[in-house]
Structure 1
Amino acid sequence: MAVLKPFKAWHPTPKNVEQIACVPYDVVSVEEARTLAAGNPESFLHVVRPEIDLPEGTDPHDDEVYHKGAENLHAFLENGTLQQENKPQIYVYQLIRNGRPQTGIFACVSVEDYDDEVILKHELTRPAKEDDRTRHILTQQAHAEPVMLTYKDDPTAENLIKETVEEEPLFEFEASDGVIHKLWRAKETKAFAKAFKSISHLYIADGHHRCKSASRAAEQKRKNNPGHTGNEEYNFFPAVIFPMSNMNILPYNRVVHSIPDNFLDTLQDKFTLTVGADPSPSKKGEISIYLDGNWYGMELPLDNNPNSVQKLDVHRLQEFVLSPLLDIDDPRRNENISFVGGIRGTKELEKNVNSGKAELAISMYATSIEELIKVSDEGRLMPPKSTWFEPKLRSGLLVHTF
């Protein structure tokens, strides 16, 4: 069963929520974050991207960065920018993008559930990124941003969500990207927690490093606490949990910066290419390739008797194109490949190639939520950058301190 725990969140007021709410730390560069927060001292980017308040060129892993993030957060807590609830709460959080609502439960989940694989992952994490987020958590004594989880649809939880959204929201605002954000306090806190006792697994959608870092931070706190009971707040971390039918996954596209001479001839020798293809593939198993100013359609080969991972388009691309033809064996570390979220569209792929930044662009068909669940249930791992979830959660709406 999954643990769902209410918490005494720190949150903005309806008056300053638009100034505080920001994009997650990992979807913008330092330069983009600096631009977004310019002239806005209340932007939560000062907490999750504190290097923007230090001289340009500051190493993002410098001790000063972590101390600055803690200083900025504690200032928000002390000066009233964020206000704390009087008692633990569970919330319902809704995002509306292009008229499509996505509604989930905002609460704390258990580090123990993550460690015991009640919360299932589908990607590997990188130690350096774990180290960074763990330091932020421990220095701030807070989980500043939630992770995004999903679960197999449950009628009891769905009814509780529907009842909650009929009430007046705590706040509602439209972000600069046009996404509308709404947040409600749930009246039936115990009912939500009880509903999740019958849900066997939660699945990480977005936030693998934050989950692992919450686990590592809790482990360190536990070692330093002789009176550890398991009920301390550091044993829990915030998450927004959506039913899988609500999830929206966009493609995660690729660009290759340098390709061998006559690479188009190589592709045509090995595969059947369609000239003038649609930049966006129309079905699973197809990719579109942008090369020398033209789009080419191509069907990806498939292993015999493939397992759930081998069926993924991102795996098939890796196995039959990237590794054998471009020597990109480890896309996590190979500098010849970069990844472009589907929200940026295929024009961004063309721009990369036309500008000379890359020589080849690959437009993917989106991985499905059913594929993610199946891989997770089987205990397998997806290749890196398999999914791009949209819309993104906003940071700074609810902060969990310990």
Structure 2
Amino acid sequence: MSKILPFKAVRPTRDKVSLVASRSYQSYTQAEREARLDYNPFSFLHIVNPGYKYDKEISGEARYNLVKNRYLEFKEDGIFIQDQSPCYYIYKIVDRDDQEFNGIVAAASVEDYNNNIIKKHEDTIASREVVFKDYLKTVGFNAEPVLLTYPKNNTISAIIKEKQKERAEFEFTTTYRDTHYLWLIDNPEDINAISDAFSNIKTLYIADGHHRSSSSKLLCEDLKSNNLKHTGNETYNYFMSYLICEEELKINQFNRLVKDLNGLSKEEFLIQLDTMFRIENRSIMPYQPSKQHHFSMYLDGEFYSLYLRKSNYIFNTALDQLDAQILYKTILEPILGITDLRNDNRIMYLSGKKDIVNLKSMVDSNTFKVGFGMIPATIEQMKLIADQNLTMPPKSTYIEPKLRSGVTIYEF
């Protein structure tokens, strides 16, 4: 039932791909961005940060038009080429811990998104959707795929495995010591087999890229309304996605850091926690929870374990079982007074890839007063929440793999 199509990707030439590929713009510090812009003329950062050329910060429509200009220049200079026929793209990442991610870059259907065949588990912010839609409409391309996940499929797995016996079109290692590979699937037999396999998958789930997919929906509606000859086959009816088997998805947690105790003393705070948690002081020994509904807390130079008193907490939905939701409903909102998890500047989120020592150091620096840790959510929880049309709190999951921008580009 899922409509997943091959497309004609714009991509760097083999000799330039390692120089072009970049992480998402926001993931770089200012110093890192400047170093790459200063010393690597082929970086995709030159496209998304066009003001660098004029040593000026540029925003809004003016920036979008310059992004488009830089992109066209990369094409004119032969840094980017476009495949002549539609392809599926097998993309493999081997990270520094030797974990492998194998998936397919393809075009996913906006119609499937509208019909809830592609399901989401996070809310989006309307203003961000519109901003990114306007950006896409002006620049005419998307360079960051939405991460979709699907249940294990033997046909797709076999095609991926067989193709990977051949020499990869791309193979490059990043400064993060992740190695990226790309293979093209362009023969009709394999293309039809992959398309048929996905058509028999009833549901796909968005793992990462909720704003990108919702913005693609808005873009489709916008361009459709202005196209009197709309057929449904135009490229704007689809959005670039990276589809990966749910067994290969890696989910990390986001830990929470809060700047103050909402006017409470340490003792008053612990007493209020006691209503919903069994508390144990672990002193200076770092504590990392290993079970669902168990939390770690670092406060005033000491670690604590917090075990939820289940008799005092009602589980009605899949969302109620999620530790990020439990933390919000039992501590962050009622005790610490944090109601807006997206916009309250008293809370910060720390990726679970950073260990508990990072959380400790940020509290010890007096930047934050208290930190909370939890175990990652599971793929089963994520799917159940989506199936029940519920949404997780923001920053509930840090999902891998993370693809590089500019390796495959989808034009509208």
**1:249–1:388 Cα contact (<8 Å) kept:** yes
For residue 231 of structure 2, what is the aligned residue in structure 1?
Answer: 229
The letter for the 1-side match of 2:308 is: L
The letter for the 2-side match of 1:159 is: A
**1:50–1:68 Cα contact (<8 Å) kept:** yes
The letter for the 1-side match of 2:67 is: G
For residue 65 of structure 2, what is the aligned residue in structure 1?
Answer: 67
For residue 245 of structure 1, what is the aligned residue in structure 2?
Answer: 247
Cα distance in 2, alignment partners of residues 156 and 130 from structure 1: 35
For residue 194 of structure 2, what is the aligned residue in structure 1?
Answer: 192
Normalising by the residue count of structure 2, what TM-score does the alignment of the two structures yield? Answer: 0.92
For residue 385 of structure 2, what is the aligned residue in structure 1?
Answer: 375
For residue 81 of structure 1, what is the aligned residue in structure 2?
Answer: 79
Cα distance in 2, alignment partners of residues 279 and 12 from structure 1: 46
Deviation at 1:32, TM superposition (A): 4.8
Q: Which has the larger radius of gyration?
A: 2
2:306 counterpart SS class: strand
Alignment of 1:237-316 (within 5 A): 237-259=239-261, 260-268=263-271, 270=274, 271=277, 272-276=279-283, 278-302=286-310, 303-316=313-326
For residue 27 of structure 1, what is the aligned residue in structure 2?
Answer: 27
Cα distance in 2, alignment partners of residues 48 and 264 from structure 1: 49
**1:151–1:241 Cα contact (<8 Å) kept:** yes
Query: Which residue of the other structure, out of 390, 398, 401, is the alignment partner of 2:408?
Result: 398
What residue ranges of structure 1 are gaps of 5+ in the alignment? none
**2:281–2:302 Cα contact (<8 Å) kept:** no
| Matching of residue 342 in structure 1 with residue 352 in structure 2 | yes
Q: Deviations over 1:245-266 (max 9, x none)?
A: 0000111111112223423542
**1:37–1:45 Cα contact (<8 Å) kept:** yes
Deviation at 1:393, TM superposition (A): 1.0
Instruction: Sort the Cα spacing of 1:386 and 1:274 in 2 relative to 1 into closer, same or farther, 3 A.
Output: same
Percent of residue pairs bearing the same amino acid type = 33
Deviation at 1:313, TM superposition (A): 0.2
Cα distance in 2, alignment partners of residues 116 and 202 from structure 1: 11
Instruction: Sort the Cα spacing of 1:49 and 1:223 in 2 relative to 1 into closer, same or farther, 3 A.
Output: same
Runs of 4+ residues over 6 Å off in structure 1: none
**1:343–1:390 Cα contact (<8 Å) kept:** no
Q: Deviations over 1:55-80 (max 9, x none)?
A: 56x36x43222122112111112211
2:162 counterpart SS class: helix
Q: Which moved more, 1:175-184 or 1:289-298?
A: 289-298
Q: Which moved more, 1:13-22 or 1:38-47?
A: 38-47
Q: Which moved more, 1:291-300 or 1:217-226?
A: 291-300
**1:8–1:400 Cα contact (<8 Å) kept:** yes
For residue 125 of structure 1, what is the aligned residue in structure 2?
Answer: 124
1:145 counterpart SS class: coil
Q: Deviations over 1:155-194 (max 9, x none)?
A: 2222222122122111111111111111111241121111
The letter for the 2-side match of 1:174 is: T
| Matching of residue 160 in structure 1 with residue 168 in structure 2 | no
**2:155–2:193 Cα contact (<8 Å) kept:** no
Between the two proteins, the alignment pairs up a number of residues equal to 400
Cα distance in 2, alignment partners of residues 316 and 79 from structure 1: 53
**2:256–2:347 Cα contact (<8 Å) kept:** yes
Q: Which moved more, 1:182-191 or 1:20-29?
A: 20-29
Cα distance in 2, alignment partners of residues 151 and 3 from structure 1: 13
What residue ranges of structure 2 are gaps of 5+ in the alignment? none
Cα distance in 2, alignment partners of residues 72 and 246 from structure 1: 35
2:325 counterpart SS class: helix
Cα distance in 2, alignment partners of residues 264 and 143 from structure 1: 52
**2:286–2:356 Cα contact (<8 Å) kept:** no
Cα distance in 1, alignment partners of residues 60 and 152 from structure 2: 43
Cα distance in 2, alignment partners of residues 365 and 55 from structure 1: 44
The letter for the 2-side match of 1:145 is: E
Instruction: Sort the Cα spacing of 1:33 and 1:215 in 2 relative to 1 into closer, same or farther, 3 A.
Output: farther
The letter for the 2-side match of 1:216 is: L
Normalising by the residue count of structure 1, what TM-score does the alignment of the two structures yield? Answer: 0.94
The letter for the 2-side match of 1:78 is: E
1:352 counterpart SS class: helix
